[in-house]
Amino acid sequence: MAIDTHTHISDERFDGDRDEVIKRYRSAGVETIFEILCEQKLWDKGFELAKTKDIWTAFAIHPHEAKTATNADFEKLKKIICSDKCIAVGETGLDYHYNLSPQNEQKDVFRKQIEISIDAKKPIIVHCREAYKDTLEILRDYSFECGGVIHSFEGSFMEAKTFIDMGFVIGICSAITFKKSGDLKEVVSRIDGSKILAETDCPYRSPQKFRGQRSEPAFVVEVIKEIANIKNISYLEAETMTTQNAIKLFL
């Protein structure tokens, strides 16, 4: 069975048919999803979703929201990440593509959350968009005994290798199925299979087959198929490999 290691089904785009979406991933052979709650206003929705047996959660403040983060938010985060079905702090990091929060505030909020994850002994889910250098500089200041993932990775093989050498695994999203997937296919082909997680990051970025549609957890099957193609292994092997990697890091 597959795991979608990065979903946002608490997004309002799922408000009309969330139960159907959950049914569809189950029938597609996805046994578990990791729901990422990275806007403070969505945290409560995360507790509701966590009541569903096959949904685990991660909580954080996204770099887009960094400018809105308050001390009360950090205090609340410290408490909620210790809850039973919370597997990680995430996603947190730096986004210099959109720069929706000033970069110095993004960095500060990222560091605070790294420290929260280390204190709570939970892995971290890192968002790094067009901010490789600064992300690396911050991560190098800490040691991550519980590990973490660089999610929706979009960098080069050398960047992936640097993160892996620091103890992180690499989250591969639907972009791997695109005709224009940049360096991603090379990254998947060259890194060790034990360092790969499969994710949709739904509702964002649908796989090639469903381009233009809202993405959903069932589509993680397309990501795993492409990983299998590139690694020249069967679907079942790729599914087992990515599921085991996810269990090892988070469960």
Give the binding site for Ni ion (CB under 5 A).
201
Query: Is the Cβ of residue 181 or residue 200 nearer to Ni ion in the bound state?
Result: 200
What is the distance between the alpha carbons of residues 50 and 147, in angstroms, rounded to a whole number? 23
Task: Indicate the residue among 95 and 201 with the shorter CB distance to Ni ion.
Answer: 201
Q: How far is the CB of 33 from Ni ion (least distance, A)?
A: 12
Residues 6+ apart with CB under 8 A from 69: 40, 61, 105, 109, 112
Q: Which is nearer to Ni ion, 125 or 228 (CB)?
A: 125
In a 10 Å sphere around its CB, with 0-12 CB exposed, 13-18 middle and 19+ buried, how is residue 60 labelled? buried
Name which of 159 and 201 has its Cβ closer to Ni ion: 201
Distance in angstroms (rounded) separating the CA atoms of residues 179 and 193: 22
* Dihedrals phi, psi of 198, to nearest 5 degrees: -105, 140
Residue 217 backbone phi and psi in degrees, to 5: -55, -30
Q: Do 65 and 101 meet the contact criterion of CB atoms below 8 Å apart?
A: yes
Which residue has the closest beta carbon to Ni ion? 201
The 3-state DSSP class for residue 192 equals coil
Tokens of 3: 């795991």
Query: Measured from the CB atom, is 173 or 187 closer to Ni ion?
Result: 173
* CA–CA gap between residue 142 and residue 145 (Å, rounded): 9
Of 31, 23, 24, 83, the C-alpha closest to 244 is 31
Minimum Å gap between C-beta 237 and Ni ion is: 26
* Residue nearer to Ni ion on the CB measure, 10 or 242: 10
